[in-house]
């Protein structure tokens, strides 16, 4: 694996696209907004923002966590919200960026719509020659 310093300083960023089931948009929006509000005081959650699209059934969420432990804690703490969203919409893609750790890597491996994006370089650059 890479340098432990680099891995410890790497945040986890998630970009997920969801497609809401027909006639479920209003309920989805209410739950998504409640979920965003629930993250506002979550330790380790740096960002949790929802975006809409020209297609009224398409949404994007961008999440950022201090590390994989914070992402996993969010999923556990907000399990009821996430379960309800799963009943209202389908995740069409999820891109997880950073040093994910075994649990998140396992989640990506189990979901065909999910993709892991580790850092291009997990080690500090070599010093330049003088």
Distances (CA, A) of 90 to 2, 27, 36: 34, 14, 18
> What is the pLDDT averaged over residues 97-104?
94
**Tokens 């497609």 map to which residue?**
19
Q: How far is CA 92 from the centre of its chain?
A: 13
CATH number assigned to the domain covering 9-117: 3.30.70.100
Distances (CA, A) of 80 to 11, 36, 84: 25, 13, 6
Radius of gyration of the chain (CA): 17
Q: What is the pLDDT of residues 13-67, one digit of tens each?
A: 999 999 999 999 999 999 999 999 999 999 999 999 999 999 999 999 999 999 9
Asked if the model's pLDDT at residue 2 lies above 70, the reply is no
Bridge partners (DSSP) of residue 97 are 13, 117
Q: What is the pLDDT of residue 1?
A: 46
Host H or E run for residue 18: strand 12-20
pTM (two decimals): 0.85
Asked if the model's pLDDT at residue 127 lies above 70, the reply is no
Distances (CA, A) of 112 to 4, 7, 24, 72, 95: 29, 25, 24, 19, 11
pLDDT band, residue 120 (cuts 50/70/90): confident
Q: What is the pLDDT of residues 69-83, one digit of tens each?
A: 999 999 999 999 999
């Amino acid at each position: 694996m890479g340098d432990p310093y680099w891995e410890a300083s790497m945040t986890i960023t998630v970009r997920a696209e969801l497609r809401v089931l027909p006639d479920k948009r209003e309920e989805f929006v209410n739950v998504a907004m409640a979920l965003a509000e629930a993250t506002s005081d979550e330790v380790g959650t740096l960002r949790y923002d929802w975006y809409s699209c020209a297609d009224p059934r398409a949404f994007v969420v961008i999440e950022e966590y201090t590390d994989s432990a914070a992402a996993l804690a969010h999923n556990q703490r907000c399990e009821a919200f996430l379960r309800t969203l799963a009943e209202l919409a389908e995740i069409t893609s999820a891109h997880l960026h950073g040093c994910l750790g075994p649990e998140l890597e396992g989640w990506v491996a189990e979901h065909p719509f999910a993709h892991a994006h580790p850092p291009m370089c997990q080690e500090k650059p070599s010093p330049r020659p003088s």
